[in-house]
C-alpha cells in the first residue's frame, strides 16, 4: 500500500531518482453522519491514474526529461473488513466468534488519497472473496466502483449513508438495504427506519419481535418487560430470530389467513397504502408523550405552545388507537381463521437471518397474500379488569371457556389473570426461588390468576379462597369462588339445576357463533349438561361447597400455615369485599373453580417442596448487617423454633438461639469496622468481625491507638475476645478494658527497646538494636455477640466458645416465601406430554416462534456466530412440567 515509485524513463536511465513515500495511517471507515461502520467488507485500491495523468514518478522525472512516463499496471483490489470500532484490516471469517473483537492487524491508507471502493453489505466472507476474485479477474458484473477519498485532516474513509452501490443490492421493500444483525450501517437513521419496517412486517406475519406484553411490536423503551431491552429499529436477537424462522418456514409452508392482507388483521400493523410502512410507531408515541409531559410542566404557555399541545394530544390519541387496534382481541384472533398451505413460489435465497433482495421479495408476497407463520402463534385475552395478556390459542381457548363457565355457574366475576406469557429472555439458565428457568409461561401455555400483593390473597374484586390438599405426597391447592348460588337438598336438586341448564344452553348457542374462541368451551358445556341430566344432586356435590376450611398462610409455620375456621361463602365474601358486604347474603355457596378449570384441561401444579413454610437462612460472618437483619426478622416468629447454628470448618457446630444474639451490636460493629478501615487505614486491618490494630511508640501510631480506643469505648460494656502475646492479659475483656490496654501498650513497647538504639558489634560496626517481636505489636479483637456470655475457666477453650468468628457460617430461622405456594398457577398440562412421554421444554419455545440457534449462547455458523439469547443446550433438552 505504499505510494507510486519507479525510475524516470528516456535518456535518464543512468540517473537515480529518489522521492518521499507518502505517510500511511491506520484508517477508520465511517458514514458521513459520523457513525463508525463495523463488520463491513471493503474492496479497495488506489484510484488508478487516467491516461495522461502524471504519476509521482513522472512529476519528478519531468525535472530531468520532457518525455511522458506511461501509466503503470492497474493494481488489484484488496479485501478488507472493519472491526467493531470501524478500523479497516484483513478480513476475518464472520463464521468465527472472534469476528466481533478488534482485528489483530490493520491496513494503512494514505490521507488525501482517492481509492476505488466496493462496499459489501453482507456478513458472508465467502461472498466477499468471490466478489474480490471476480473483480480482479476483470468482471464488470458489479458496476463501477465508488471513488472515495481518505480525509486529509483525519485517517477516515467516509461513506455516504445510502444503499446505492452497495453489494449485493437489497430489496426494494427496504430501499436497497441488506439487513442483518451487527450490520455496518445499523446506527444510521435510514437503516433504523428500514429495520422498523421489517419489524412491522414480521409482526404482521406473526413472528415475535417484541416483549411479553407486546410480542408482535418492537419495544421503544416504554414496556414494563425490560428483559430484551429496547429494539425499536434495532436488529437485535429477536429480530434475527424472527427473520431466520421466517426463512425456514417460507421454504415449505405458510398459514393462509381468511380475509388477510390489506383488508385483514395484517393492516393493523402495516399500511398497505403507504408502501407497507409501519402502522404503529411506539418510538414516535413515546417521544410525543415526553414532549407533551414537558409542556404540561410549564406554568405558562405561549399561544404557539398551546396549539402544539393540542396537536400533540391529538397525535398521541391517534397513535394509541393504532396500538390498541394492533393488540385487541378481535385482531389477534382473526389470525386463527384459515388453514395451512404450501409456501408461495417467492422464497428467500437462504436461511441465515439476512434480509436480502430475495427475502424482502418473499416477505412482500406473504404480506400481499395475507399469510402468517404456520403453527402456533400467540393471541391476546382481556381479563375482567381489562388486563391484556398473550398466550397460545390452546391456553386462551381454555381461559375463555373457564371464565364464561364460572359466570354461568354463579361466580359472576369470571377469571382474573395477572400473568400469562413470559419472555424467553428472562431467567436464562437459572431462576430465583419461586420461578423456573424452564417455566411453562415461556411457552404461552400457563397462567397466573389474580394474586394480590404478597402472594397470600386474591385481588380485591375477585372473591376466591383456597384450600390445601395433598396429592401423591405433594401439596396442591383448590380454589373456591363465592358464588350467587344456593345449595339444594337431594330432593329439589333438579329444580335448582333448571336455571343453570337454561344459562348453559344460552351460553352454548351464543358461543357457537364464534367456534374458534369457543373450541374448548362448547365441549365443556355439553359435559356439564350431561352431568346435570344424569345426576343433579351429584352435580351440585361435585362443583359446589356450603363451607370450606380456608388456608391461613403463616410464613413462620413449618407447613406454611394452618386450616382456618369453617367459613361460609357469604362470610368469606363479606370479609374479602368489605365495600360490598351488603351483598354477602346473595352468595350461598362456593363454586369449585379448580374443578371447572379441569373441564377445560387446565391443570393446577404442586407447590415447591419447601421454602414457603418456615425455612432457614445461612449468612457468612462477614455479612454482619445481613445477619442482624435476619435475626431481627426471626424475632417476629411466633414459633418456638429459634435455634441458631454456627458452622465452623467442616465438622464444628455451635448452637445458640435468636434471643441470645445481640443483633444491634452486630449492626453497629459493622459500621465501626467500615469507619476504622477508612479512618485508621495505616494501623488497622479487618477480617470481619475481627479488628486488628498494629501498635508502636511513634507519634502517628500513638494517635491511631487513641482513635481505636475511642471507638472501643463506644462498646465499653460489651465483651471482646482478644489475641495478644502479652500473657498478662485475660483473653476476654470489656471494650473499656481493651481500650485502656491499647492506649497504654505503645509506652510498654517503647520501654522494652534498649535505651541506645545503635549497638557496636565486635567488628566495630554500628547496627540498630533489636525491636520487640512483631506479634507483640498487634492486638486482634473479636466481638462477643452472645448476650450473657461467660468465658470458660480454661483460657485455651475460649476460642471454641466464641460464636461468630471469621469464616463462620450462621444459620438462622427464616420466614417462608409464599411465592413458592403456586396456588394461582394453572396450565395446559395435557399438552406437555403425549401418550408415550413428556415433551421437551425447548420444543415448545420452537413451536411458538423461537429457533434453537437463537436460543443458544452462540447462534452458530448458520447465523454467522451472532450472539443468541444464552441458554445452554442442556436446558432446551429438559422435559416440560
pLDDT in tens, 509-530: 999 999 999 999 999 999 999 9
Look up residue 813 and give its three cell numbers.
430461622
Chain length of the chain: 881
For residue 6, pLDDT over 80 is answered with no
The angle at the Cα of 24, spanning 18 to 25, to the nearest 5 degrees, equals 160
For residue 440, pLDDT over 60 is answered with yes
Q: Name the nearest CA neighbour of 520 among 378, 414, 396.
A: 396
Q: In whole angstroms, what is the distance from residue 248 CA to residue 720 CA?
A: 71
pLDDT at 23: 75
Residue where the block lists cell 344452553:
505
Calculate mean pLDDT across residues 673-680. 96
- Model confidence at 101, in pLDDT bands (50, 70, 90)? very low
Q: What is the pLDDT of residues 457-485, one digit of tens each?
A: 999 999 999 999 999 999 999 999 999 99
pLDDT at 65: 45
For residue 169, pLDDT over 90 is answered with yes
pLDDT at 1: 39
Q: What is the pLDDT of residues 627-661, one digit of tens each?
A: 999 999 999 887 677 999 999 999 999 999 999 99
Calculate mean pLDDT across residues 201-208. 98
Omega before 689 cis (within 30°)?
Answer: yes
Cβ–Cβ < 8 Å for 480, 589: no
For residues 800-839, one letter each, b for 16 or more C-beta atoms within 10 angstroms of the residue's C-beta and e for the rest, the string is ebbbbbeebebbbbbbbbbbbbbbbbbbbbebbeeeeeeb
Calculate mean pLDDT across residues 192-197. 98
Q: What is the pLDDT of residues 329-379, one digit of tens each?
A: 999 999 999 999 999 999 999 999 999 999 999 999 999 999 999 999 999
Q: What is the DSSP track for 710-751?
A: HHHHTTTTSEEEEE-S-TTS-SEEEHHHHHHHHHHHHHHHHH
Calculate mean pLDDT across residues 663-690. 96
Q: What is the pLDDT of residues 309-333, one digit of tens each?
A: 999 989 989 888 888 888 899 999 9
Q: In whole angstroms, what is the distance from residue 171 CA to residue 155 CA?
A: 33
Beta-bridge partner residues of 341 = 254
- Model confidence at 821, in pLDDT bands (50, 70, 90)? very high
Beta-bridge partner residues of 721 = 732, 782
Q: Which of 130-139, 233-242, 295-304 has the lowest mean pLDDT?
A: 295-304
**For the chain, how long is the longest CA-to-CA vector?**
130
The average confidence (pLDDT) of the chain is 91
- Model confidence at 711, in pLDDT bands (50, 70, 90)? very high
Residue where the block lists cell 445481640:
662
Residue where the block lists cell 408502501:
275
**Residue 585: Cβ within 10 Å count:** 10
pLDDT at 67: 44
Cβ–Cβ < 8 Å for 177, 163: yes
- The whole-model pTM stands at 0.85
Under DSSP, the state recorded for 167 is B
Under DSSP, the state recorded for 600 is T
pLDDT at 69: 43
How large a percentage of the chain has pLDDT more than 70? Answer: 91
Calculate mean pLDDT across residues 606-635. 95
Look up residue 760 and give its three cell numbers.
557496636
Q: Name the nearest CA neighbour of 208 among 862, 875, 735, 849.
A: 849
- Model confidence at 52, in pLDDT bands (50, 70, 90)? low
Is the four-CA dihedral 658, 661, 663, 664 of positive or negative sign?
positive
Cβ–Cβ < 8 Å for 543, 595: yes
Look up residue 653 and give its three cell numbers.
457446630
Dihedrals phi, psi of 838, to nearest 5 degrees: -70, 145
Amino acid at each position: 500500500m505504499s505510494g507510486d515509485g519507479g525510475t524516470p524513463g528516456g535518456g535518464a536511465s543512468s540517473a537515480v531518482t529518489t522521492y518521499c513515500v507518502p505517510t500511511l495511517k491506520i484508517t477508520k471507515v465511517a458514514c458521513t453522519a459520523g457513525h463508525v461502520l463495523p463488520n463491513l467488507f471493503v474492496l479497495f485500491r488506489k484510484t488508478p491514474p487516467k491516461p495522461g495523468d502524471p504519476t509521482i514518478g513522472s512529476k519528478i522525472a519531468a525535472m530531468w526529461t520532457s518525455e511522458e512516463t506511461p501509466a503503470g499496471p492497474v493494481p488489484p483490489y484488496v479485501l478488507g473488513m472493519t472491526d467493531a470500532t470501524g478500523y479497516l484490516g484483513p478480513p476475518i471469517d464472520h463464521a468465527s466468534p472472534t469476528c466481533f473483537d478488534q482485528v489483530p492487524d490493520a491496513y494503512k491508507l494514505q490521507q488525501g488519497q482517492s481509492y476505488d471502493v466496493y462496499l459489501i453489505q453482507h456478513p458472508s466472507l465467502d461472498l466477499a472473496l468471490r466478489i474480490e476474485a471476480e473483480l480482479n479477474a476483470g468482471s464488470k458484473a458489479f458496476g463501477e466502483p465508488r471513488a472515495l477519498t481518505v480525509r486529509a485532516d483525519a485517517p477516515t474513509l467516509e461513506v455516504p449513508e445510502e444503499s446505492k452501490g452497495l453489494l449485493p443490492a437489497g430489496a426494494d421493500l427496504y430501499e436497497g438495504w441488506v439487513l442483518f444483525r451487527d450490520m455496518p450501517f445499523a446506527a444510521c437513521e435510514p437503516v433504523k427506519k428500514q429495520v422498523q419496517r421489517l419489524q412491522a412486517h414480521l409482526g404482521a406475519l406473526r413472528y415475535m419481535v417484541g416483549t411479553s406484553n407486546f410480542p408482535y411490536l418492537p419495544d421503544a423503551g416504554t414496556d414494563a418487560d425490560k428483559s430484551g431491552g429496547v429494539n425499536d429499529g434495532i436488529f437485535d436477537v429477536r429480530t434475527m430470530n424472527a427473520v431466520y424462522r421466517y426463512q425456514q418456514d417460507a421454504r415449505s409452508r405458510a398459514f393462509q389467513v381468511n380475509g388477510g392482507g390489506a383488508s385483514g388483521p395484517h393492516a393493523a400493523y402495516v399500511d398497505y397504502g403507504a408502501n407497507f410502512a409501519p402502522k404503529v410507531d411506539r418510538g414516535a408515541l413515546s417521544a410525543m408523550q415526553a414532549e407533551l409531559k414537558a409542556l404540561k410542566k410549564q406554568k405558562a404557555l405561549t399561544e404557539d405552545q398551546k396549539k402544539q399541545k393540542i396537536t400533540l394530544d391529538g397525535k398521541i390519541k391517534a397513535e394509541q388507537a393504532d396500538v390498541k387496534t394492533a393488540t385487541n382481541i378481535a385482531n389477534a384472533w382473526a389470525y386463527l381463521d384459515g388453514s395451512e398451505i404450501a409456501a408461495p413460489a417467492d422464497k428467500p435465497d437462504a436461511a441465515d437471518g439476512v434480509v436480502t433482495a430475495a427475502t424482502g421479495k418473499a416477505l412482500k408476497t406473504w404480506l400481499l397474500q395475507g399469510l402468517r407463520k404456520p403453527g402456533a402463534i400467540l393471541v391476546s385475552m382481556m381479563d375482567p379488569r381489562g388486563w391484556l395478556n398473550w398466550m397460545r390459542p390452546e391456553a386462551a381457548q381454555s381461559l375463555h371457556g373457564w371464565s364464561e363457565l364460572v359466570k354461568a355457574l354463579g361466580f359472576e366475576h369470571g377469571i382474573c389473570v395477572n400473568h400469562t406469557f413470559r419472555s424467553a429472555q428472562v431467567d436464562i439458565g437459572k431462576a430465583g426461588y419461586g420461578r423456573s428457568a424452564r417455566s411453562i409461561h415461556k411457552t404461552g401455555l400457563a397462567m397466573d390468576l389474580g394474586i394480590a400483593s404478597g402472594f397470600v390473597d386474591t385481588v380485591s374484586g375477585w372473591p376466591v379462597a383456597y384450600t390445601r390438599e395433598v396429592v401423591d405426597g405433594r401439596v396442591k391447592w383448590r380454589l373456591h369462588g363465592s358464588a350467587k348460588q344456593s345449595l339444594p337438598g337431594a330432593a329439589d336438586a333438579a329444580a335448582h339445576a333448571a336455571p343453570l341448564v337454561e344459562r348453559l344452553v344460552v351460553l352454548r348457542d351464543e358461543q357457537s357463533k364464534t367456534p374458534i374462541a369457543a373450541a374448548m368451551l362448547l365441549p365443556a358445556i355439553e359435559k356439564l349438561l350431561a352431568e346435570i341430566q344424569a345426576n343433579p344432586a351429584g352435580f351440585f356435590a361435585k362443583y359446589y361447597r356450603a363451607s370450606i376450611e380456608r388456608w391461613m398462610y403463616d410464613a413462620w409455620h413449618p407447613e406454611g400455615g394452618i386450616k382456618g375456621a369453617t367459613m361460609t361463602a357469604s362470610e368469606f365474601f363479606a370479609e374479602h369485599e368489605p365495600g360490598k358486604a351488603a351483598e354477602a347474603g346473595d352468595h350461598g355457596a362456593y363454586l369449585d373453580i379448580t374443578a371447572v378449570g379441569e373441564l377445560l384441561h387446565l391443570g393446577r401444579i404442586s407447590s415447591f417442596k419447601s421454602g414457603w413454610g418456615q425455612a432457614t437462612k445461612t449468612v457468612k460472618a462477614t455479612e454482619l448487617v445481613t445477619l442482624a437483619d435476619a435475626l431481627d426478622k426471626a424475632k417476629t416468629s411466633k414459633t418456638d423454633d429459634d435455634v441458631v447454628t454456627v458452622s465452623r470448618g467442616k465438622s464444628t457446630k455451635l448452637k445458640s438461639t435468636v434471643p441470645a444474639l445481640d443483633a444491634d451490636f452486630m449492626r453497629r460493629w459493622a459500621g465501626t469496622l467500615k469507619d476504622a478501615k477508612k479512618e485508621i487505614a495505616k494501623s488497622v486491618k479487618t477480617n470481619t468481625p475481627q479488628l486488628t490494630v498494629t501498635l508502636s511508640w511513634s507519634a502517628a501510631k500513638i494517635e491511631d491507638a487513641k482513635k481505636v480506643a475511642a471507638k472501643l469505648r463506644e462498646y465499653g460494656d460489651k465483651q471482646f475476645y482478644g489475641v495478644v502475646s502479652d500473657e498478662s492479659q485475660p483473653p476476654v475483656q470489656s471494650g473499656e478494658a481493651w481500650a485502656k490496654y491499647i492506649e497504654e501498650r505503645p509506652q510498654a513497647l517503647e520501654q522494652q527497646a534498649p535505651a541506645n538504639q545503635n549497638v557496636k558489634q565486635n567488628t566495630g560496626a554500628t547496627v540498630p538494636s533489636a525491636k520487640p517481636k512483631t506479634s507483640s505489636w498487634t492486638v486482634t479483637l473479636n466481638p462477643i455477640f452472645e448476650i450473657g456470655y461467660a468465658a470458660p475457666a480454661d483460657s485455651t477453650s475460649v476460642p471454641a466458645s466464641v460464636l461468630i468468628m471469621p469464616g463462620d457460617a450462621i444459620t438462622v430461622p427464616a420466614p417462608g416465601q409464599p411465592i413458592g405456594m403456586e396456588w394461582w398457577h394453572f396450565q395446559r398440562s395435557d399438552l406437555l406430554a403425549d401418550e408415550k412421554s413428556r415433551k421437551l421444554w425447548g420444543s415448545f419455545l420452537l413451536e411458538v416462534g423461537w429457533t434453537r440457534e437463537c436460543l443458544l449462547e452462540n447462534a452458530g455458523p448458520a447465523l454467522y456466530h451472532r450472539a443468541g439469547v444464552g441458554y445452554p443446550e442442556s436446558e432446551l433438552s429438559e422435559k416440560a412440567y
